[in-house]
C-alpha cells in the first residue's frame, strides 16, 4: 500500500554496477517536503543510490516509486514526465561548458515549456539572482569559481521549480562560508517553496544543520543500517558504524 505522505518510496532495492552489488535490501521512503540526507563513508554507494532515485541507473532488483508510480518500470515518456518534477545538482555542477550560465538555466525551460523567449529569460535571470549570480548571466562555467558553479547548477536544477531536488555532495570543495551559505539556501528553499530535498553528503556540519532524517549506508554490511534524525544517530551507541561516523572516530 502506498503511503500518501511519501513522495519517493524505495522497495527491496539492490543496486550495483553489472553484477557487482554495491548496496542491497534498501527499504525507505522520503516524505513530501522533507530534507532527507543519505550519509555514509566514502565509496559506500551514496551517489550511486541517488542516481538510482531519479532513474539515471536501473537497479539490479527492487523498485522505486515516485508519487506512487514506478520509475524503474516506466517507459521513456513517463520517465521524462517524472523528471520534470525533479531537479538535480551534480557534484561538480555538470554545467554545459559551451553554454553561458543564462543558457544553462534557460535550456530546460526552452525544452519543456511554451513560454515566450522574454518570459524564459526573465525567469532564468530571476533564478540566477536567487543564488547571487546577477551580473554573471553571460559568463561561461569555466570563467567562474567552484562555489559559483554550484550555485549556477542549483539555479539550473531549480529552472522548472521541481517538487524534489537532489544534491550530490553539495559542499564538496567549498570553503566553510560558501558551504554554510549553501546549507542556508537549502533550508530557505525547503521553507519557502516546500521543496523536498534529498542530499548525499558526508559533511557532518551540513548534516546537523539541514537534515531532518538521515539514512546511513554501511559500507561493510552493504546495506542501510539506520534511519533517524541526526541527533538520534549521534547518540545511538547500539550501532558502532553509525556512532563512529557521527562522532568522527578515526579508523
Partner 1 sequence: MSESTFVINRENTPEGLLLKLQGALNLQTAEKALSELSSLIRSGEKLSLDLSEVHYLDGQGVAVMIELKARCAARKAGFEIVSKSAVCEKMLGLVNTDRILPELPAYRRQESLFEQIGGATIDLYEDLKEIVRFVGECSIMTWQAVKAPSKIRWRSVLTTLETTGVDALPIVCMIQFLIGVILTVLGKSVLGMYGATAFIPDLVAIALAQELGPLITAVVLAGRSGAAYAAEIGTMQVSEEIDALRSMGFEPGHFLVLPKMIAAGIAMPCLLIFGNVVAIIGSIITCLLTTDVTLPAYVREVYKAVSFHMFTEGLVKAFFFAVLIAGISCMRGMQVRGGAESVGRCTTAAVVSGIFITILTDALFTILFHPPF
Binding site for partner 1 (CB under 8 A): 51, 54, 56, 76, 79-81, 83-84, 86, 88, 90-92, 94-97, 107-108, 111-112, 166
* Residue 60: CB minimum distance to partner 1, A: 19
The sign of the dihedral angle between the CA atoms of 209, 210, 215, 219 is negative
Cβ proximity to partner 1, 157 vs 215, nearer residue = 157
State in angstroms the smallest separation of the CB of 58 from partner 1. 12
Q: How far is the CB of 90 from partner 1 (least distance, A)?
A: 5
C-alpha cell at 77: 515518456
Nearer to partner 1, 77 or 118 (CB): 77
Residue 121 Cβ vs partner 1, minimum distance, rounded to whole Å: 16
- Closer to partner 1 by CB, 11 or 84: give it: 84
Beta carbon nearer to partner 1, 96 or 126: 96
Determine the Cα angle at 31 with ends 28 and 37, to 5°: 65
Instruction: Give me the least distance between CB of 174 and partner 1, in Å please.
Output: 17
The least CB distance from residue 241 to partner 1, in Å, is 21
Would you say 111 or 161 has its CB closer to partner 1? 111
Give the cell for residue 19: 553484477
- Which residue is listed with cell 551580473? 135
For partner 1, which is the closer residue by CB, 32 or 51? 51
Q: Which is nearer to partner 1, 74 or 239 (CB)?
A: 74
CB 97 within 8 A of CB 120: no
Cell 559559483 sits on residue:
148
Least separation in angstroms between residue 108's CB and partner 1 is: 5
Amino acid at each position: 500500500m502506498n503511503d500518501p505522505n511519501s513522495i519517493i518510496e524505495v522497495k527491496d532495492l539492490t543496486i550495483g554496477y553489472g553484477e557487482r552489488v554495491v548496496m542491497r535490501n534498501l527499504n525507505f521512503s522520503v516524505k513530501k517536503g522533507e530534507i532527507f540526507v543519505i550519509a555514509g563513508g566514502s565509496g559506500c554507494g551514496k551517489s550511486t543510490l541517488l542516481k538510482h532515485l531519479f532513474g539515471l541507473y536501473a537497479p539490479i532488483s527492487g523498485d522505486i516509486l515516485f508519487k506512487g508510480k514506478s520509475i524503474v518500470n516506466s517507459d521513456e515518456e513517463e520517465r521524462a514526465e517524472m523528471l520534470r518534477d525533479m531537479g538535480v545538482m551534480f557534484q561538480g555542477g555538470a554545467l554545459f561548458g559551451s553554454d553561458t550560465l543564462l543558457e544553462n538555466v534557460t535550456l530546460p525551460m526552452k525544452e519543456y515549456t511554451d513560454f515566450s523567449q522574454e518570459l524564459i529569460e526573465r525567469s532564468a535571470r530571476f533564478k540566477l539572482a536567487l543564488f547571487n549570480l546577477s551580473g554573471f548571466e553571460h559568463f561561461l562555467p569555466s570563467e567562474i569559481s567552484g562555489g559559483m558553479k554550484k550555485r549556477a547548477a542549483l539555479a539550473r536544477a531549480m529552472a522548472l521549480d521541481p517538487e524534489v531536488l537532489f544534491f550530490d555532495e553539495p559542499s564538496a570543495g567549498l570553503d566553510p562560508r560558501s558551504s554554510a551559505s549553501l546549507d542556508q539556501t537549502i533550508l530557505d528553499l525547503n521553507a519557502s517553496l516546500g521543496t523536498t530535498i534529498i542530499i548525499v553528503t558526508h559533511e557532518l556540519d551540513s548534516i546537523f544543520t539541514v537534515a531532518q532524517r538521515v539514512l546511513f549506508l554501511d559500507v561493510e554490511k552493504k546495506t542501510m543500517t539506520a534511519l533517524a534524525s541526526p541527533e538520534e544517530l549521534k547518540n545511538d551507541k547500539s550501532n558502532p558504524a553509525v556512532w563512529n561516523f557521527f562522532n568522527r572516530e578515526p579508523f
